[in-house]
Amino acid sequence: MFGAPDALPRVVAGWDKRYLALGQPGYPFAARATRVGAVYVLGDRDAGAAATTLAPLAGARALGQLVANTYASDLVGANERAKELRVLGRLVREVPVRGVRAPEDVGAPTRVCEAILDDYARIG
């Protein structure tokens, strides 16, 4: 996302998950709860693509993508997992979910963001 695989710090050593601290200057975080208008799931980059593609995801496919991207899923117990599945199920029923495939070009993040903003303006 930032031009190099190691541009962001790891969540924990030995795990390939990275994070962006939203509390730092230049990355403001919302001070209050707000409605979720859409969810965009970043997929693999497409080496042959000239532009970002966005495709609707629905039902089990959308739910599967969201479950695959939950945090520390191997650390939660059965009750927490059941609650998570209920919340994610409600989310995919009420909010548009889109799969995003970006070009491999390192200059693509700005264009990816623009494509997502354009898409959201159409569905929002």
Residue 9, pLDDT score: 86
Does residue 20 sit within a domain? Answer: no
Does residue 103 sit within a domain? Answer: yes
Q: Which domain holds residue 59?
A: 39-123
Residue 106, pLDDT score: 66
Does residue 108 sit within a domain? Answer: yes
Residue 100, pLDDT score: 94
Distance between start and end Cα atoms, the chain? 25
- C-alpha–C-alpha distance, residues 96 and 104, integer Å: 25
pTM here is 0.74
Does residue 6 sit within a domain? Answer: no
* 84-116 pLDDT tens trace: 999 999 999 999 999 999 888 866 678 889 999
Query: Is 4:10 a contact under the CB 8 Å cutoff?
Result: no
* 10-52 pLDDT tens trace: 888 888 888 888 878 888 777 888 889 999 999 988 888 888 9
Does residue 115 sit within a domain? Answer: yes
Half-sphere exposure for 67 (CA within 13 Å, toward CB):
17
